[in-house]
Amino acid sequence: MHRNKSRIPTCVFSLPPLAIALMSLPGFAQDESAASESTNTSPVVVTATRIEQRSFDVPAAINSLDLQRIQETARAEVNISEQLNQVPGTAVQSRESYAQEQQISVRGFGARSQFGTRGIKLLADGIPASTPDGQGSPGLFDLQSAQRIEVLRGPFSALYGNHSGGVVQVFTEDGPKDPTVTLQGMFGSYGTWKGGVKFGADSGAVNGIGSYSHFSTEGYRDHSAADKDQFNAKLRMNVTPDTRVTFLVNYLNQPDNQDPLGLTEEQVEDDPTQSIAESELYNTRRNLDNIQAGAVLETNITAQDVMRLMAYAGNRDNDGFLAIAPGIQDNIRQSGGVAVLDRSFSGVGLRWSHIAERLNFSVGADYDSTSENRTGHLNFTGMVASPTELGTKGALKRDEKNSVKSYGIYAQGELQATEKLSASAGIRYTKVKFNSQDNFICTTTLVTAPGATPGTCSGSTSTIGSVVGGVVQENPDDSGSVDYSAFTPVAGLLYRLTPTANLYANIGRSFETPTFIELAYQVAPDASGPNLGLDPSRSTHYELGAKLALGSDTRMEISLFHIDTKDEIVVLSNRNGRQSFQNADGTERTGVELALDSRLGAGFSTLLAFTYLDAKFKQSFSTCVSTPCIPNTGIGTATVDKNNKIPGVAPYNAYAELAWAHAPVGFSTALEFRAQGKVYVNDINSETADAFYTFSLRAGLEQRPGRWRLSEFVRIDNLLDENYVSGIAVNDANGRFYYPAAGRNFLAGVSASYAF
């Protein structure tokens, strides 16, 4: 980590010269038969067009990771970061804490997220894993039963509604033809272990699979122990030859997952395994319990028309224990050091798809809603002057009921205009409605806060109506509502330059509303009520791309993009559990993505995913850098200069591997490489997390005696024991920006499957 303001210049690319150069590469086949052989290996995807198509023929940047790469490459199958760093344009920050879900960033969107993923649409078997306001939970993805992961980037992702960056969708595998049970066990560094069981079967009209796993770790850092129980099941029934119903159930439980919190630069250099003293003092942690179920009905109306109806519902309970000092919580308007959430959610979606020789289109509508009871409590019992039992839920400080509803209608289609040219277009209208009802009011005329005594408000020693530091001690009605809506159109062309080369171009618009977390607090430190003046961000995306088949065993994809965003939502202040946000006038992102997948022969294969991204602010603005911070006054603020880099976004990310398999003995091994450029941690670009590179090594064996399938693996991550930062907290006012990655660590596992 260091303090500087070096910059990487924006690159300008031209597609035709690039395509000509690629066509000159050895093995670039021009022959029809070679094209047929190679492009047939292109995976089938559905996220981009909502109709099954080979990714080679889709006019968008979309990558698919298959079952073999997800489940059979010697990984723990616990975190989405194990997979998504293999996809260009996509980065996953891991804070080495299961109390904070992993943060997915696509083309630089989502990097500001304080909890989990935002700005990216998450789906599991077509059912949202994101709330209508845009907050996503990648921890819901069950990788142990995943068939494939699709990542859609660029303009066409706007047809999924409220987000800016892209769509990540995980599909559950089908049950095998023969009834099969699989047992799995693994163990590794830092007291890590996992056990799992999976059972699947097919009986003609009914196909099903169920998966359960328990994961436990003591954690790389102090105070980072975690447990995770996960269950995922899918049951498909063929009601008639033309009608199918699929039932889906997902359960996630993470009890008392400890949070070591971020470190300062000096603390990282002194001991990256430490937790801050406050995390131990207040026992910072999270309890999470999430269950959801859904059903999908698909029926073939005609040979060319398919109707799809989807419905889901669920509940999420979350308790978060924060490290906030009792004196700070004594503020009558402060919401406490324990955040408690009880959320119910549901939704429906209806889609009609028409599939013909020259024209494909889909028309649909969806509705999603959440309703949550959110409370805040002191993180201690007793009085502020002499607190006891730190890290326990105490007096009430916040009580509100929030709801978000999202309505969307969309249409998209593809026309085969000529043998070589196809045109795609779509448009979506999305409306998102927020409402917050405050049930915790303490004023001289009205007191509704439960537990309040005459003259005082629950959890505060200040007398209602008194003046402390020039501020009247009241907690007024913070209720409020706001609506956001937008049309998001997209259009694209795909040109078949040769049988083995497709070129495409896209343009589209997206919009992203604030989440309830981002609306929660006004920019002024003592202002009351939600930040209803926060505007949604609106982006215009431009993309050029090429998809190439180099011989019969190599696929290559390259995409160039530029994104202009107005009113980007950025972190204004992040301190003491109170985060406030504001709009920056404009940002831009320019980049290139490259994916290469090749089978080299003699058992060797390679994979490469590379991203270059220049993400910067187009206009200067003011942000908080210390406490107290009063915007527009110069008190506690600093100027973010024009052309400063957007924090949390690396200028480059790279993943590469060289693998070798010897089929006769069932042996496989691979050397993995990952690199990332330096990342600025705040808007003023005063500090960075250094660039890094790491190596991992994996090896495995497989045996198939009779109806058994046995496998063993071992992997070593961070092979060279590099010290680097794998996650950051953007604009943290305490300077605790950094979450160190684990040192050299190993994982070993075995699995046994039996087909009856």
Instruction: Convert the pLDDT of each residue in 589-612 to its tens digit.
Output: 999 999 999 999 999 999 999 999
Beta bridge partners of 591: 561, 613
- Predicted confidence (pLDDT) at residue 10 exceeds the cutoff of 50: no
Rounded to an integer, what distance in angstroms lies between the CA atom of residue 573 and that of residue 563? 26
Q: What are phi and psi of 562, to 5 degrees?
A: -140, 135
CB atoms within 10 A of CB 664: 6
Buried-exposed string 635-656: b where 16+ CB fall within 10 A, e elsewhere: ebbbebeeebbbbbbbbbbbbb
**Residue 169 in domain:** yes
Rounded to an integer, what distance in angstroms lies between the CA atom of residue 20 and that of residue 30? 13
- Predicted confidence (pLDDT) at residue 577 exceeds the cutoff of 80: no
Rounded to an integer, what distance in angstroms lies between the CA atom of residue 98 and that of residue 288? 10
Asked whether the beta carbons of 186 and 213 are under 8 A apart, the reply is no
- The proportion of the chain whose per-residue pLDDT surpasses 90, expressed as a percent, equals 74
Q: What are phi and psi of 269, to 5 degrees?
A: -70, -30
- Predicted confidence (pLDDT) at residue 23 exceeds the cutoff of 70: no
CA dihedral 569, 575, 576, 578 (to 10 degrees): -20
- Which residues, at least 6 apart from 418, have a Cβ–Cβ distance to it below 8 Å? none
Give tens-digit pLDDT for 480-514.
999 999 999 999 999 999 999 999 999 999 999 99
Residue 664 is given by DSSP the state G
- Predicted confidence (pLDDT) at residue 430 exceeds the cutoff of 70: yes
The arithmetic mean of pLDDT across residues 219-226, rounded, is: 95
Rounded to an integer, what distance in angstroms lies between the CA atom of residue 291 and that of residue 692? 38
How far apart, in Å, are the Cα atoms of 427 and each of 349, 363, 408, 430, 484? 17, 10, 11, 10, 17
Rounded to an integer, what distance in angstroms lies between the CA atom of residue 619 and that of residue 638? 14
Asked whether the beta carbons of 509 and 538 are under 8 A apart, the reply is yes
pLDDT at 523 (0 to 100): 67
Host domain of residue 344: 15-440+478-755
How far apart, in Å, are the Cα atoms of 658 and each of 217, 606, 655, 719? 29, 5, 11, 15
Cα 632 to its chain centre, rounded Å, is 33
How far apart, in Å, are the Cα atoms of 83 and each of 68, 76, 279, 653? 12, 11, 30, 14
Weakest-pLDDT range from 28-42, 203-217, 521-535, 734-748: 28-42
Q: Are strands 166-172 and 120-124 parallel, antiparallel or unpaired?
A: parallel
Rounded to an integer, what distance in angstroms lies between the CA atom of residue 81 and that of residue 98? 13
pLDDT at 20 (0 to 100): 36
Rounded to an integer, what distance in angstroms lies between the CA atom of residue 399 and that of residue 376? 7
**Residue 426 in domain:** yes
Asked whether the beta carbons of 372 and 401 are under 8 A apart, the reply is yes
HSE-up of 619 (CA within 13 Å, CB side)? Answer: 12
Closest CA to 259 of 231, 281, 230: 281
- Predicted confidence (pLDDT) at residue 125 exceeds the cutoff of 90: yes
For residue 5, what pLDDT band results from cuts at 50, 70 and 90? Answer: very low
Q: What are phi and psi of 254, to 5 degrees?
A: -130, 95
Cα 684 to its chain centre, rounded Å, is 25
Beta bridge partners of 50: none
How far apart, in Å, are the Cα atoms of 698 and each of 45, 160, 670? 28, 37, 5
pLDDT at 41 (0 to 100): 59
Rounded to an integer, what distance in angstroms lies between the CA atom of residue 731 and that of residue 112? 9
Closest CA to 178 of 197, 200, 209, 198: 200
**CATH number of the domain encompassing residue 335:** 2.40.170.20
Asked whether the beta carbons of 142 and 721 are under 8 A apart, the reply is no
Rounded to an integer, what distance in angstroms lies between the CA atom of residue 489 and that of residue 370? 26
In a 10 Å sphere around its CB, with 0-12 CB exposed, 13-18 middle and 19+ buried, how is residue 487 labelled? Answer: exposed
Hey, what amino acid is at 328? I
Locate 96 and state its tokens. 């080495």
Hey, what amino acid is at 503? L
pLDDT at 38 (0 to 100): 43
Asked whether the beta carbons of 350 and 407 are under 8 A apart, the reply is no
Closest CA to 274 of 282, 266, 446: 266
Asked whether the beta carbons of 570 and 579 are under 8 A apart, the reply is no
Cis previous bond, 628, omega within 30: yes
Give a three-class secondary structure readout of 509-567: EEEECCCHHHHCCCCCCCCCCCCCCCCCEEEEEEEEEEEEEECCCEEEEEEEEEEEEEE
For the chain, what is the domain count?
Answer: 1
pLDDT at 115 (0 to 100): 72
Give a three-class secondary structure readout of 15-69: HHHHHHHHHCCCCECCCHHHHHHHHCCCCEECCCCCCCEEHHHCCCEEEEEEHHH
HSE-up of 83 (CA within 13 Å, CB side)? Answer: 30
Give tens-digit pLDDT for 301-326.
999 999 999 999 999 999 999 999 99
The arithmetic mean of pLDDT across residues 2-11, rounded, is: 37
Rg over alpha carbons for the chain, rounded to the nearest Å, is 26
Cα 522 to its chain centre, rounded Å, is 26
**Residue 459 in domain:** no
The region, left, alpha or beta by phi > 0 then psi within -120 to 50, assigned to residue 78 is alpha
Give tens-digit pLDDT for 79-113.
998 999 999 999 998 888 898 888 899 999 988 77
Hey, what amino acid is at 317? D
The arithmetic mean of pLDDT across residues 225-253, rounded, is: 96
Rounded to an integer, what distance in angstroms lies between the CA atom of residue 443 and that of residue 385? 23
Longest Cα–Cα distance of the chain, Å, equals: 86
Q: What angle do CA 8, 10, 15 make, to 5 degrees?
A: 135
Q: How far apart are the first and last CA of the chain?
A: 56
For residue 263, what pLDDT band results from cuts at 50, 70 and 90? Answer: very high
Locate 745 and state its tokens. 């660590």
For residue 8, what pLDDT band results from cuts at 50, 70 and 90? Answer: very low
The arithmetic mean of pLDDT across residues 367-377, rounded, is: 95
Locate 721 and state its tokens. 């024991």
- Predicted confidence (pLDDT) at residue 706 exceeds the cutoff of 60: yes
CB atoms within 10 A of CB 92: 24
The arithmetic mean of pLDDT across residues 292-296, rounded, is: 96
Q: Are strands 501-512 and 127-128 parallel, antiparallel or unpaired?
A: unpaired
For residue 451, what pLDDT band results from cuts at 50, 70 and 90? Answer: confident
Closest CA to 15 of 541, 551, 502: 502
The arithmetic mean of pLDDT across residues 239-265, rounded, is: 95
Rounded to an integer, what distance in angstroms lies between the CA atom of residue 297 and that of residue 299? 7
Locate 320 and state its tokens. 């978060």
Rounded to an integer, what distance in angstroms lies between the CA atom of residue 399 and that of residue 65? 43
Average pLDDT, whole number, for the chain? 90
Locate 694 and state its tokens. 């790491």
Closest CA to 680 of 693, 691, 694: 691
Residue 109 is given by DSSP the state B
Strands (E), 356-473: 359-377, 381-382, 387-388, 396-416, 421-438, 467-468, 471-472
Rounded to an integer, what distance in angstroms lies between the CA atom of residue 720 and that of residue 700? 21
The arithmetic mean of pLDDT across residues 577-584, rounded, is: 82
Give tens-digit pLDDT for 667-680.
999 999 999 999 99
